[in-house]
A and B are shown apart, each in its own frame.
Chain A
Amino acid sequence: MTVLLNAVRPTRRRTAWLSVNLALVIFVVLYGVIAILQPNYLDAALFMNFLRRAAPLIILACGQLFVILSGGFDLSMGAVVTLVVLAASMLIGGDPDMTWTVIAILYAMGLAVGLANGLIVSFLKVPSIIATLGTMLLVNGLALAWSGGAPRGDLPDNFRNLGRLVLKDVPLVGSLPIAVVILVVVTLLAWWGLHATAYGKRLLAVGDNPRAAELAGVPVKPTRISAFVVSALSAVTAGILIGGFSGVSVNAGRGLELQAIAACVIGGAQLLGGRGTIVGALFGALSLFALFTLLNLLGLPQALRDSLQGLILIAAVGVTVLRYRRST
């Protein structure tokens, strides 16, 4: 009996690691296949470029993770990205002097959307999947109406450089895109917020068992609201990068919220809260982006990409559920 217990215990503890490792393993395998097809992907410069293009998804996944850990979903992220791209082009109107003011305004808009999501979920008790579906439609519609469906104005270079510029001859890494610097800063900030503060512990407790968290003194509503704010602000950041390297488009953010959720789940986050890590979300997003890259290299049509993403999402949720069931 004791032997059995001892045999069982270490495997139980390993499951937490397994979830991170799973995403890491998927990423390494996919990137390995990419490197076989296109050996120059192993160059530092191309890897940096890969990271640069993956940066918005990773940043979105980090923000989405906050909401998922609190027990909800944020479907409005993609709409916020679209809003940011369109609003930036409309407000800046090609004037480089306006860039920093407009960026501040963009963050204020993100803050407003995040607060709206959080307040609706916390006070009206609307399930987050419905509440953020509503703000998604609302924000998308407003952004399109504002731009008239055909955005005028161009983004000045100093704005686009945030997503596009690559610093050359940097020691150690060679080339270094600004977007990767922003990515590292955002990921570290998210890691700090989630894994190195009392706030992160409260967030996990709220997602795990809100009633118990409340009775332990956790301010449940402010904690929930702040998760939506973090998510919206990360969407603004991702939107600025996307505007930088893809330019202005009314489809800029389409489907990104689902990719971010998929990334978190592949990274081992438990839907409906309480379990998940930034490292997991990071590798989940990298895996997903590596998959997209691979499909491009293989020349598969765009539509199949969505189907495969769906399959992977279902598989990842399935694995999480199975693992959870086994552990209880």
Chain B
Amino acid sequence: MSPVLEMRSISKAFTAVKALDQVDFDCRAGEVHVICGENGAGKSTLMKVLGGSYRPDEGEIRLDGAPVRFQHPREARAAGISIVHQELSLLPFRSVAENIFTGMEPTRWGLLDRRQMDERARALLQRLGSSIPTGAQVADLSIAEQQLVEIAKAMLLDAKVLVMDEPTAALDDRDAHALLRLISRMKAEGVAIIYISHRMPEVMAIADRITVLKDGRLVWTRDRQDATVNAIVTAMVGRELQDFYPARAATEPGQSVLQIRGAGNRHLRDIDMVARAGEIVGIAGLEDSGKGALAQALFGDQPFTQGEVEIGGKPVVLHSPRQAIAAGVGYLPGDRKREGIVPRQSVRDNALLTLQAMAAVLSLPNAGVRSVAEADRNLRTMDVRAGDFGQEIATLSGGNQQKAIIARWLMQNPDLFVFVEPTRGIDVAAKAAIYETMRALANEGRAIVMISSDLPEIVGVSDRILVMHQGRIAGELPGGAEEGAVMQLALGVTGNAAEREMV
């Protein structure tokens, strides 16, 4: 049977980065084709090319054998390609029927034909095996029901190809099962389904074929019976290790600086962990695994609601960043632009900000000349390249901004340093400098907790690796562990998280 959709040699570059490099992909009617890959492997870019959001630099898309070029998502929709995004795109204060028909409302003599709209919406939802009332307001529905409305919206146009981007990420097990049953039903109707997911058990349960992408390239496409979880994981992570990670500490780590017992909140459960003086603890996990929530909890930004935290042997309450700073925690945020820099202030003021924030309110802004000199010295230690530390920090490169924020924390001399995605979006040279700084900070007797989505970084820099899955710590690995082992824990296919995963 010839495929409904064929994508041939698709390439797409953003400035210097090749997000997609000669990727071939196809999908047949009545088939579920799963795409796997790490964050940044190119899955979303490929789907955005398919959906008309991006135009490919090279390559060809064929629908039912005929070449198509989409200038706009609307054209892709009209041609029968529907995408259900991870973030739903419904209008919360309109009814189910109104949402399904958004943009293509049936009319009668120029007026909205509500009766027809309701009837067709009801028929459509029935076909999907649901009895949501068509007049209900979308905001009142559960996430699973909203997803169903989104799918109904896609089906309204008799979608030939339905793309679902991590649809079960926000669902509990029962709803996820219902969704998978729904997918089988649509499959039986002859829809070609492209399904993006990280959850290995569900991938193995519903896939007919599996494609793995890595760094913008196609690794392989196989039938489900020819693929194993191990093969998928290996294909997802297999890459050469770069050798710019600094040597690990020769000495044993010292006393515990951070101790967490039984802590949790809305996103985290049963967190027990220790970070000792002189060690770098890497926290790995997928996007929704809770690793970001753990960093925020450690810094009092999204506090723990239960459990105990000790820093330097003393119990502490971390209900705000100020309390965390006072308790001796430093924090390098993951989103430099949004959470790190104050862009229109000088490099020096950025380095002095936490000092100023914690100083008496009417004290001299720089606590005298001494601290200006100290800030400049720290900026120089961090090798921040700026013509003048008085210039606006927004004019510096990402790597230099990151170093300036580290310099800010050096002024505070924290005992525990939380680094979130410390090298995201910065160049290789600055990366190496930041790794060396982290190691140097650890060697001076601080404990470092590094949250990262970058597997080579986790494996290359950490002394110990904690892997998170669904809000828990799924397991611990030594530094230098195999990337595949980390990935397996992160995916929930090994370790104590496996039995909770649905099959």
Contact = CB atoms under 8 A, between A and B. Distances in A.
Interface of A: 9, 12-13, 193, 195-202, 204-205, 208-209, 211-219, 270, 274-275, 327-328
Given A205-B342, A215-B339, A328-B394, A197 B357 contact: no
B343 A208 contact: yes
B345 A198 contact: no
Given A212-B338, A215-B339, A216-B353, A274 B344 contact: yes
Nearest to A205: B342
Nearest to B353: A216
Contacts of A213: 342, 353, 357
Contact of A209 (B341, B349, B352, B362): B341
A275 B343 CA distance: 10
A211 B301 CA distance: 11
B345 A208 contact: yes
List 9 tightest A-B contacts by C-beta distance, closest first: A217-B357, A208-B342, A218-B357, A198-B356, A274-B344, A198-B359, A201-B356, A216-B353, A217-B325
Nearest to A218: B357
Given A202-B361, A205-B357, A215-B301, 6 more contacts: A198-B357, A198-B365, A201-B345, A216-B321, A218-B353, A274-B342
A216 B408 contact: yes
Contacts of A328: 394
Contacts of A218: 353, 356-357
A30 B188 CA distance: 80
Interface of B: 299, 301, 321-322, 325, 331, 333, 338-345, 349, 352-354, 356-365, 367, 387-388, 390-392, 394-395, 408
A212 B321 CA distance: 11
A309 B361 CA distance: 37
Given A197-B363, A201-B349, A215-B331, A275 B344 contact: yes
Given A211-B339, A213-B357, A218-B353, A199 B362 contact: yes
A215 B342 contact: no
A109 to B, nearest CB: 24
Contacts of B362: 193, 197-199
A212 B344 contact: no
Contacts of A9: 387
Contacts of B322: 217, 219
Contacts, number: 101
A270 B394 CA distance: 16
A199 B365 CA distance: 7
A327 B344 CA distance: 11
A174 to B, nearest CB: 36
13 contacts: A196-B364, A197-B363, A198-B363, A201-B349, A202-B357, A204-B349, A205-B345, A209-B338, A212-B333, A213-B357, A215-B333, A216-B321, A327-B392
A202 B338 CA distance: 17
B305 to A, nearest CB: 20
B344 A200 contact: no
Contacts of B340: 212, 215
A139 B344 CA distance: 35
A216 B363 CA distance: 18
A193 B361 CA distance: 10
A212 B342 contact: yes
Between A198, A200, A204, A270, the greatest number of chain B beta carbons within 10 A of the residue's beta carbon is seen for: A198
Interface core residue of A195, A197, A208, A216 (most chain B CB under 10 Å) = A216
Contacts of A211: 338-339
A296 to B, nearest CB: 37
A217 B321 contact: yes
Given A211-B338, A218-B353, A199 B361 contact: yes
Q: Which of B339, B354, B361, B391 has most chain A Cβ within 10 Å? A: B361
Contacts of B339: 211-212, 215
A215 B345 contact: no
B395 A12 contact: yes
B365 A212 contact: no
| Among A195, A209, A215: residue with most chain B CB under 10 A | A215
A198 B359 CA distance: 7
Contact of B391 (A13, A198, A200, A274): A13
Contacts of A197: 361-365
A219 B356 CA distance: 11
Nearest to B338: A211
A145 B44 CA distance: 62
Nearest to B324: A217
Nearest to A10: B387
Contacts of B338: 209, 211-212
Nearest to A214: B321
Nearest to A219: B322
B342 A209 contact: yes
Given A198-B364, A212-B333, A217 B358 contact: yes
B410 to A, nearest CB: 13
Contacts of B408: 216
Contacts of B341: 209, 212
Contacts of B357: 198, 202, 205, 213, 216-219
Contacts of B364: 196-198
A273 B367 CA distance: 24
B61 to A, nearest CB: 36
A275 B349 CA distance: 13
Nearest to A200: B365
A201 B352 contact: yes
A216 B355 CA distance: 9
B244 to A, nearest CB: 27
B358 A201 contact: no
A13 B410 CA distance: 27
Contact of A196 (B356, B365, B395): B365
A163 B390 CA distance: 41
Nearest to A273: B344
B391 A12 contact: yes
